[in-house]
Amino acid sequence: GSGSLSTVTNGINWAVNNKAVYGIEILSLSLGTIGSSDGTDSVSQACNNAVDRGLVVTVAAGNSGPARYKIGSPGAAEKVITVGSFADVGHNGFYVSSFSSRGPTADGRIKPDVCAPGYKIMAAKKGSTNQYVEYSGTSMATPFVAGTVALMLDANPSLTPMQVKSIVSTTSIDFGPSGKDLDYGWGRLDSYAAIKSAGGFTG
């Protein structure tokens, strides 16, 4: 699909303004621009504002890898959880998807923040009741993080967006160079560890 940046910004702002009405806690944004962003554009700033207003924002890193400086808007927003894609092809093990956009951002910050499953993901087909499609992309990886965040907030509703981001980061499984890097961010999403670390874990 496609759309305008102004429409996306309006949608983010609508979610912020109506979060109390509808119980909105998380934005999952499987969208973005091509090219490198420094996070000062209107959509990125709307995302940062949403985080400041109490929403956790997960954003696809993009599918312009493996070259550097390919994190567009709003993946370059400082306060969001920017999600890259990794693959797991059986016994060959995990690896970052070649298409997954790499950082740094245009102003030199390390992105993505974390990687999640984004290669050959089966999902319900739009407009159908019993059909499925298989897609690859960081847009498929982002909802894995959003779903994990939802379970974290179930376990501990008092968590702030920045606490959620910190837990997702610190519980991820480090890949590539030690620490946060331009390919994996902090590493591979570990949903079990993130939810357990959030608190209120019951089994």
Whether 202 shows a pLDDT value over 70: the answer reads: no
| pLDDT exceeds 90 at position 198 | yes
In 3D space, the residue among 166, 145, 1 whose CA is nearest the CA of residue 61 turns out to be 145
pLDDT at position 171: 97
Strand ranges in the chain using DSSP code E only, listed in sequence order: 26-29, 56-60, 81-88, 94-96, 114-117, 121-124, 132-135
Region 145-162 average pLDDT: 97
Does the pLDDT of residue 14 top 90, yes or no? Answer: yes
pLDDT in tens, 110-119: 999 999 999 9
Tell me the C-alpha distance between 12 and 14, whole Å: 5
- Distance, CA of 10 to CA of 28 (rounded, Å): 15
At residue 125, the pLDDT reads 94
pLDDT at position 91 is 66
Examine the pLDDT at 160 and tell me if it is beyond 70. yes
pLDDT score for 176: 85
- Reply yes or no on whether the pLDDT at 17 is more than 60: yes
Inform me whether the pLDDT recorded for 201 exceeds 70: no
Tokens 């890898």 belong to residue: 65
User: In this predicted structure, what is the pLDDT of residue 87?
Assistant: 92
pLDDT tens per residue, range 48-96: 999 999 999 999 999 999 999 999 999 999 999 999 999 987 767 888 9
Tell me the percentage of the chain whose pLDDT exceeds 90.
Answer: 91
The chain-wide mean pLDDT, for the chain, equals 95
pTM for the model stands at: 0.95
Quote the CA–CA distance of 45 and 92 in Å, as a whole number.
40
What tokens were used for 14? 């609508």
Report the alpha-carbon distance of residue 116 to residue 149 in Å, rounded.
13
Task: Say if residue 126's pLDDT is above 70.
Answer: yes
